[in-house]
Amino acid sequence: MTLQDLVSAFLAARPRWKDIGEDGGAGLCEFASHEFVGFAAAHGFDGEVECIRFHVPQHPAYPEDAWDGHWVARFGEEVVDLTAKQFGDELPFPFIWTIPKRRQHHDE
Structure confidence by residue, pLDDT tens digits, 67-89: 778 899 999 999 999 988 888 77
**Residues in the chain with pLDDT values less than 50:** 103-108
- pTM, to two decimals: 0.83
pLDDT for res 87: 80
pLDDT for res 105: 45
Break the chain into its structural domains and give their ranges.
3-107
SS3 category, 53? coil
How far, in Å, CA of 9 to CA of 39, rounded? Answer: 9
Q: Work out whether the CA dihedral 70, 99, 37, 94 comes out positive or negative.
A: positive
Q: How far is CA 25 from the centre of its chain?
A: 16
pLDDT for res 55: 67
DSSP run (H or E) holding 72: strand 71-75
